[in-house]
């Protein structure tokens, strides 16, 4: 019985290491792409703002991949996603005032997830 528990723990640690390696590699590659995109768009189109929002994309994408891989929506970095949406749409369309409401979805997101997890258990 104890041996089985130890084996399960080893498997869990191996899985976590694998996820961390993939996540770190993906994040590094995405930041490199974000830097290249930012510089190219900045110089070619002279649009430095709101192009800097591309630096939030690696965080969002890598957390989404981890959340899907682990089947745990709590791993998704929803607050960063909300900030990126707010800044991007507000900058492009001037929706600063009405769009601040999206920040209310952050506690709602986590409340719904926690409620769902409690119902599962």
Q: What is the pLDDT of residue 117?
A: 74
In order, the DSSP letters of 96-113 are HHHHGGGGGHHHHHHHHH
Give the model confidence (pLDDT) of 34-89 as tens digits: 999 999 999 999 989 889 999 999 999 999 999 998 899 999 999 999 999 999 99
pLDDT over 90, % of the chain: 64
Residue 1 has pLDDT above 90, yes or no: no
Lowest mean pLDDT among 10-19, 70-79, 98-107: 10-19
pLDDT over 70, % of the chain: 98
Strands, DSSP E only, in the chain? Answer: none
Q: In whole numbers, what is the pLDDT of the chain averaged over residues?
A: 90
The pLDDT-based confidence of 121 (bands split at 50, 70, 90) is: low
Q: How far apart are CA 85 and CA 105, in angstroms?
A: 12
Q: How far apart are CA 25 and CA 85, in angstroms?
A: 25
Rounded alpha-carbon distances, angstroms, from residue 15 to 6, 9, 43, 74, 107: 14, 10, 42, 18, 30
- Total-model pTM: 0.83
Residue 5 has pLDDT above 90, yes or no: no
């Amino acid at each position: 019985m104890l041996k089985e528990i130890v084996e399960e723990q080893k498997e869990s640690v191996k899985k976590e290491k694998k996820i961390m390696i993939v996540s770190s590699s993906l994040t590094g590659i995405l930041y490199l792409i974000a830097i290249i995109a930012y510089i190219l768009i900045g110089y070619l189109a002279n649009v430095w703002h709101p192009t800097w929002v591309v630096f939030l994309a690696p965080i969002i994408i890598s957390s989404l991949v981890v959340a899907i891989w682990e089947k745990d929506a709590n791993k998704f970095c929803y607050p960063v996603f909300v900030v990126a949406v707010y800044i991007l749409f507000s900058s492009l369309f001037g929706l600063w005032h009405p769009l601040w409401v999206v920040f209310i979805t952050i506690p709602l997101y986590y409340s719904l997830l926690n409620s769902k997890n409690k119902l599962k258990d």
